[in-house]
Amino acid sequence: MLLVGWNTLFTAMLSLMHPFFVSVIDINHNEKEATIEISVRCFTNDLEKMIAAETKTTIDLSQPSQKSKGDALLKAYLSKRLNLSVNGNKSSLDYVGFEIQNESTWTYFEIKNIKQLSQLNVLCEVLFGVNDQQINIFHVHAKGVRKSYELIYPKNTTQFNF
């Protein structure tokens, strides 16, 4: 119940904060499945703007008829702008899909065959170029611990140790 309230409050805060260009990246190490689950939440209009700027292709992610085009463009854009190294090894993000919730787009990835997570290096330039006040907020969950960090433009790297 508390989580639902927090999500509602967070969505309202993001809506009010939109002029500050905030995205949220949640990274969860699922020990049981030996995967790292990644969700990237961005304002849809900012994401569409960046995709158009980089690919010279327009997209309306909310249109079901453009779902497969959206999948391809989101996978390409976010895979280029978000790079993770797990335990010292560069990792490939496997695209899972996306969904629209209110004014935000959630995009999902996973990294397979990660039994332990002791170090996570992040290189993130998601939405860099929309506004020089871009903030990418990371929440990383591993070994029962949650760590958070803000990458404020132009800073694009950080490291999490568990």
Q: What is the per-residue pLDDT across 46-80, written as a single tens digit (0 to 9) for each?
A: 999 999 999 999 999 999 999 999 999 999 999 99
CB 65 within 8 A of CB 132: no
Sign of CA dihedral 39, 41, 42, 43: positive
Tokens of 9: 């409050």
**Edge-to-edge order in the sheet of strand 145-152:** 94-101, 104-112, 35-43, 22-30, 135-142, 145-152
Domain extents in the chain:
21-161
Q: What is the per-residue pLDDT across 83-107, written as a single tens digit (0 to 9) for each?
A: 999 999 999 999 999 999 999 999 9
Instruction: Say what the alpha-carbon torsion angle 37, 33, 140, 54 is, to the nearest 10 degrees.
Output: -20
pTM for the structure as a whole: 0.86
CB 74 within 8 A of CB 99: no
Tell whether omega for the bond before 64 is within 30 degrees of 0, i.e. cis. no
37: left (phi over 0), alpha (psi -120 to 50) or beta: beta
Tokens of 138: 């990371």
Alpha helix locations (H) across 34-128? 44-55, 67-81
